[in-house]
Amino acid sequence: MTDVENVIIIGSGPAGYTSALYTARANLRPLVIEGYAWGGLLQQTTDVENYPGFPEGILGPELMQRFREQAERFGARLLTDEAASVRLSRDVGGVHQVVAGEREHYARSVILAMGAQHKKLGVPGEDELAGRGVSYCATCDAAFFKGATTLIVGGGDSAMEEAIFLAKFAKHVTIVHRRDEFRASKIMFDRARSHENIDLLTPYRVKELKASENGSLATAVLEQTESGDERELEISGAFIAIGHEPQSAIVAGQVELDEKGYAVVQGRSTRTNLPGVFAAGDLVDHTYRQAITAAGSGCQAALDAEWYLRDTPGVPAPEGMPEGDLAESQWIHAGGA
Ligand code: NAP
């Protein structure tokens, strides 16, 4: 078998690029399968005001560009292609296979950092009208809705952020939420509420999205969750901001996942149930889900992979790295299983 990599990283959000940076600086020459839409969910945001080190804030896409450049600077190799499938070894010291593009790639260790994607409502009309009025990203699509009447679905920070951004373009934004209480932080909720052209409608759920004769979104059918009463809202844009789900499909059946599909890791480490396979970022974390926490766990995954390569019998230590003792090192560095 030729070209067995030290480490393949799948994913290119803050977790993926941070693990690329750290493994590159450990001379492991990581191969990053970054996908076509590299940069993860931060590519779809505007101002990031809570990433330490940027007191004036920074645009999400610019932040990710910087992550990427920093990883490349130390020798991370980036493959702008999707990982189509993986075959992960169950053996300590085994070699894992990742298929991306036309090629099969092999590696002694794999870091999974595929992140999470936008959740769908699952109502009639949603799929058919995607791109024709239904969107999951106001920051990407709001400019197409100048002067339009629109709605946002959701009651969390994402819904507030999307509504505030959309309100700069749309004539009117109605935030539709299924409960009277909002999950959003007070600061985001107050910011959204202070806009003249943003309204709240609760407790309502979207029952159906209907098209006009020309095939684009025209009407949202809404149901009052307590009384069951229905009403229709004439809109040309509906933005769904109801959270995220992990992108774990390609490892399902191989890596242990929880009931929601998030990768399960051992203790405070990033080790999965498979030796040499590590998971980081939003693929693991349904609690914090911040760029800074994802970056932190990408760093942990890189260190876990580095120690695994150094310490595992059957996996040759990368050049310049001394062999060590597996049990002792895992206990000391990763908190034990
Ligand atoms: P979230 O906090 O999980 O909120 C999701 C919202 O969507 C909830 O209000 C939920 O309703 C609703 N929802 C879920 N499934 C639904 C369905 N099938 N139909 C209708 N409504 C549904 O997700 P998020 O807003 O994406 O935020 C995720 C994390 O990122 C949070 O920690 C958040 O603070 C953070 N974040 C921060 C910022 C910022 O500070 N700038 C911006 C965006 C996100 P229920 O409340 O009834 O469950």
In a domain, 261, yes or no: yes
Task: Give the pLDDT score at 319.
Answer: 60
Domain boundary, last residue among 240, 272, 295: 240
Domain boundary, last residue among 203, 225, 240: 240
Ligand 1 atom with the smallest distance to the CA of 244 is: 26
Task: Give the pLDDT score at 333.
Answer: 32
Strands 172-176 and 149-153: parallel
Task: Give the pLDDT score at 337.
Answer: 30
pLDDT of 1 higher than 60 = no
Q: How close is the Cα of 184 to the center of ligand 1, in Å?
A: 7
Using DSSP's 3-state secondary structure scheme, residue 34 falls into coil
Using DSSP's 3-state secondary structure scheme, residue 175 falls into strand
**Same domain flag for 111 and 249:** yes
**Same domain flag for 157 and 101:** no
Ligand 1 atom with the smallest distance to the CA of 287 is: 32
Q: How large is the average pLDDT for residues 128-137? A: 91
**Same domain flag for 20 and 40:** yes
The stretches of the chain forming alpha helices (DSSP H) are 14-25, 60-73, 138-141, 157-166, 186-193, 291-311, 326-334
**Same domain flag for 88 and 124:** no
Supply the range of the domain harboring residue 145.
Answer: 120-240
**Same domain flag for 110 and 145:** no
Nearest residue by C-alpha to atom 3 in ligand 1: 243
pLDDT of 87 higher than 70 = yes
DSSP state of 184: S
Task: Give the pLDDT score at 3.
Answer: 83
In a domain, 337, yes or no: no
Ligand 1 atom with the smallest distance to the CA of 161 is: 42
**Same domain flag for 54 and 37:** yes
> Which of 77-91, 136-150, 207-221 has the least mean pLDDT?
136-150
Q: How close is the Cα of 157 to the center of ligand 1, in Å?
A: 6
Q: With bands split at pLDDT 50, 70 and 90, how would you rate the model's confidence at 287?
A: confident
Q: With bands split at pLDDT 50, 70 and 90, how would you rate the model's confidence at 44?
A: confident
**Same domain flag for 249 and 113:** yes
Nearest residue by C-alpha to atom 14 in ligand 1: 242
- Of 64, 218, 204, the residue nearest 134 (C-alpha): 218
**Same domain flag for 100 and 131:** no
Long-range contact list for 100-108, CB < 8 A, 24+ apart? 100/33, 105/3, 105/5, 105/8, 105/31, 105/33, 106/1, 106/3, 106/4, 106/5, 107/4, 107/5, 107/6, 107/7, 107/8, 107/31, 108/4, 108/5, 108/6, 108/7, 108/276, 108/309, 108/315
Angle formed at CA 245 by CA 239 and CA 248, multiple of 5 degrees: 140
**Same domain flag for 235 and 248:** no
Ligand 1: which residues within 6 Å by Cβ? 121, 153-159, 161, 178-179, 183, 185, 188, 205, 242-244, 289
Give residue-wise pLDDT tens across range 264-275: 999 999 999 999
Q: Please give the positions annotated as active site.
A: 137, 140-141
Into how many domains does the chain fold? 2
Ligand 1 atom with the smallest distance to the CA of 185 is: 34
**Same domain flag for 155 and 79:** no
Q: How close is the Cα of 244 to the center of ligand 1, in Å?
A: 8
Q: What is the CATH number of the domain that holds 189?
A: 3.50.50.60
Give residue-wise pLDDT tens across range 212-243: 999 999 999 999 999 999 999 999 999 999 98
Of 112 and 321, more confident = 112
**Same domain flag for 17 and 54:** yes
In a domain, 108, yes or no: yes
pLDDT of 332 higher than 50 = no
Task: Give the pLDDT score at 127.
Answer: 93
If residue 150 lies in a helix (H) or strand (E), which one and from where to where?
Answer: strand 149-153
In a domain, 21, yes or no: yes
Mean pLDDT over all residues of the chain?
A: 91
Q: Which range is most confident: 63-72, 279-288, 312-321?
A: 63-72
- Phi then psi dihedrals of residue 279, to 5 deg: -135, 140
**Same domain flag for 248 and 113:** yes
Domain boundary, last residue among 205, 225, 240: 240
Mutate-to-test residue for ligand 1 from 160, 183, 240, 245, highest number of ligand atoms within 8 A of CB: 183
In a domain, 158, yes or no: yes
pLDDT of 46 higher than 90 = no
Per cent of the chain over pLDDT 90 is 81
Q: How close is the Cα of 12 to the center of ligand 1, in Å?
A: 22
Give residue-wise pLDDT tens across range 163-209: 999 999 999 999 999 999 999 999 999 999 999 999 999 999 999 99
In a domain, 97, yes or no: yes
